Amino acid sequence: MEAYNKALAEGKTFDKRVPVMLIGQDRSGKTSLKKSLRGEPFNQNEESTVGIDVDPSLFQVSTEIWKAGEKDQEASSRTSVSYEYHAARVTVENMKQEKSILEEKIPMGATVQANNDFMSVSPASYSCGSDVSSTSSQDPLEGTSSRDSELGSKNGHEMEDEDSSGDSELGSNVSHIPKDIEIEMLKRMQNDHGTEDEEGIYSVLWDFAGQLVYYTTHPLFLTSRAIFLLAHDLSQNPSETAKPVVKQGVYRKFEDSFGMETNMDYLDFWLFSIASLACQNEREQIGSNSNVLPGKLPPVLLVCTHADRPYDGGDPSTLASELFGSLQSKPYKKHLHDVFVVDNTKSGLKPECPEVVRLRNEVLAIAKELPQMKEAIPIKWLKFEKELRAASKEGRKWISRDTATNIASKKCNIVDSTEFKTLLNFLHDKRILIHFDDTAELDELVVLDPQWLIDVFKKVITVRPYDRKGKKFTELWCELENEGILDGKLLEQVWGPLLDDRATCESLLQIMGKFSLLCPWPSSDSSCGKQYLVPCMLTTYPPEDIMKLVEDASRQIPPMFLKFESGQVPPGLFPRLVLLFLQWGTEISLRPERTKLYHNFARFFTSEEETWSVILLCLSTSIKVVIHRENPFHESGVESSLSKMTLSADASHDTSDVTFPCTVRRQLGKILESMRKEFCWLEYMRYEASFLCPVCCQGGAVSYCDTHHVRGCKQEECLHFWSQSQLHNPKRIISCTKSVAALNTRVQIVQFAPWFTTVGNQVKNLEHIFLIDNVVVKLTN
């Protein structure tokens, strides 16, 4: 018994579980790939995944077919990732060590005998009780006449609290050890097996929906501790426009117009999202000494599906190789491990697709080398997880932090608050549970069932088709579909009894707000009650009209781009930025009632006297900020504004021509900094204001693109930007080094002056414009 108590108090082990997450564009074959890995028959009419599908089966990662294991991740004592397995293993190791120490101290002629404590030294004849390994080679669960057969005969039933005569190494107090652990201990003593190298690696499959409406939920569940399988449909040309997704409305289904422009954009989105999971210390820690792991974690395996019908009738292996090569020029390339060409139509057949076999081999090889597989954890952490799982099986989807703390302290002897916090983070990183501690409301909620949380969120970000039984809510559903506004009454209807627990409801709203699934929305009508903006429900305005507006406005003042070091606008940042910009808009006289919101686009209007508008356009790698004036005093645009900058501050002209763009820039800088401090997922965000080069990117396009070998390329990665720090130069003129055919390569920084000039600094010497405003020029740390 002492050995068991010591195992619980001091025992350490290794948790060899890793989530395997399938990601990619809608209809790219993720669910079919899951079936291929598990050897299940192919279904050509497979329905698209809705939200996220967490497979409840824990399976062993191997080179063979991934067979479903225990349901609800409730691994039996035979599974090498269970609490019972590790508790038994360490207990037996402690017993052997204790026995060895005692035998070394035994006087000549003395014997070792089991007693009520554990073992004692006796001068009588040598006896350690019946040696399980020598009495029988039969499995204890099969049944014999010995003590271990008695354990086996009670398979699955509660053991009586009986006194044993001490006929085994477990001692007479063995009944205090849980039955399933005792059985596992007997098996280990009989077979003497179970070294660390022999233990398997286990996983749960996560299937992420490809529809864009669900992309906002994904950051909650993606984890840097996973292995990612990125599916791409080889029947679709990466450079062609992506097929629209069918979306459910109140009265009809329709093609979802917003989305990535090309199929390659979807790959970029997913890979940038995965790259954003890597925190700084992981970037420094991973990769160089391993021949198996990629340069950075988490690892991504590109799986090209539909190999049976590649686009243009090309060779699937060649097309996959070319695609993989094109991705090697991107910032996220160090996460990519390998490329596979899979034919899912062979799933469940013999012989199966050889690339599926190779994929299983690579996943297993990578899993064995992951750093977390070598991180020792206390065994009592697994006991805590088992207790939470028992609560979940009773139907509890979440518990309070106080309840979790009591379980940890009273049942698992985890009393240190720092250790408990580390334990919750450990289980959260594995996505075994969901818990955030950014605020008091978030810290209060410990979600035991991630699938339940996914389903709760789906109720808010999807529209229900018309139902006569709920027709009184039809108008509110239409408002959500058409304007992206969720009324509090509708929230009460879809969440139902959940709202009876106000603390839980507030925690859920906090989580959704944290990831910009919804944001509190100010209502002009006080009788409407609470309203929320659901950004993923916003529709798209015709892009041609937007581009024309931006082009016209850019003739007045050159647009500013907020460029992010990660290479992608952080997921969920744009809608939160839009909301805060509107809330903080009093400083620049914004009129909330005139605001126009669409997917990845917002236009804010000032008062009729000011006649300014601010346009925010979210692109793949940057946020474009455009200042537009409806009735400029002079048609010459920038020249008009610049001429006024040479006048004194008390001149009779309207000084807002000079101050408004600068005020907007300052405001955006304040908001981004506040967001970085408020949200942990933006802590490492780096950004800087940048401007298109007027020499080689006239009209927002490269005159000739060396990468794509086309004229007028508008791909963001091909454009030439001058960063704010580069423009912060005492010289008035800098030269463009990108253009080959330009007659004049000089760039006059004075044309960007409206973004950096205040009324108090009406500059006469424009060479020093950026030095004068140095305090507010730099947006980065």
The CATH number of whichever domain residue 333 belongs to comes to 3.40.50.300
Residues 586 and 469 in one domain: no
Number of residues written out for the chain: 781
Q: Are residues 358 and 422 in the same domain?
A: no
Residues 698 and 622: their CA atoms lie apart, in Å, by 18
Instruction: Kindly state the DSSP code that residue 700 receives in the 8-state scheme.
Output: G
Residues 529/460, Cβ–Cβ less than 8 Å = no
CATH at 485: 1.10.10
Residue 372 identity: Q
pLDDT, position 166: 35
Tokens of 192: 């003497």
Instruction: Read off the amino acid at residue 335.
Output: H
**Sole residue written with tokens 């991740």:** 73
Is the residue at 5 inside a domain? no
Tokens representing residue 565 in the block: 């070091």
| Parts of the chain with a pLDDT under 50 | 72-77, 110-175, 194-197, 280-285, 287-288, 632-656, 759-781
Are 627 and 746 members of one domain? yes
Pair (173, 258) in one structural domain? no
Q: Which of 164, 198, 232 is the last residue of a domain?
A: 198
Does some domain include residue 211?
yes
Contact residues for 157 (Cβ-Cβ < 8 A; gap 6+): none
Q: Based on the structure, what is the number of domains in the chain?
A: 5
pLDDT of residue 104: 60
Domain co-membership, 609 together with 742: yes
Produce one character per residue of 244-267: b if its CB has 16 or more CB atoms within 10 Å, e if not. ebebebbeeeeebebbbebbbbbb
pLDDT at 735: 82
The pLDDT score that the predictor gives to residue 526 is 53
Does 497 fall in a domain?
A: yes
The answer to whether residue 6 sits within a structural domain is no
Q: Are residue 381 and residue 479 in the same domain, yes or no?
A: no
Task: Confirm whether 3 is domain-assigned.
Answer: no
Closest CA to 554 of 442, 697, 663: 697
What is residue 778's predicted lDDT score, i.e. its pLDDT? 35
In a domain, 145, yes or no: yes
The residue out of 340, 356, 374 marking a domain boundary is 374
Verify that 732 and 649 share a domain, yes or no.
Answer: yes
Q: Residue 4 falls within a domain, yes or no?
A: no
Residues 380 and 370 in one domain: no
Query: How high is the pLDDT of residue 527?
Result: 57
Q: Is residue 159 part of a domain?
A: yes
Residue 231 pLDDT: 96
| Residue 750 belongs to domain with CATH number | 3.30.310.200
> What average pLDDT does the chain have?
76
Look at residue 456 in the predicted model and tell me its pLDDT: 87
Considering the domain architecture, whether residues 601 and 549 belong to the same structural domain is answered as: yes
**Do the Cβ atoms of 753 and 645 come closer than 8 Å?**
yes
Q: Give the per-residue pLDDT at 723.
A: 86
Instruction: Identify whether residues 720 and 773 lie together within a single domain.
Output: yes
Q: Range of 107's domain?
A: 83-198
* pLDDT on residue 403: 95
The pLDDT of residue 561 is: 94
Residue 217 tokens, joined: 């939920």
CATH at 435: 1.10.10.10
pLDDT at residue number 649: 35
Domain end call among 518, 537, 556: 537
Nearest to 207 by CA among 228, 225, 224, 234: 228
**248 and 328 inside one domain:** yes
Write the CB contacts of 19 (distance below 8 Å, at least 6 apart in sequence): 203, 204, 206, 223, 225, 226, 227, 430, 431
CA 428-430-435 angle, to 5 degrees, is 10
- Do 280 and 332 lie in one domain? The reply is yes
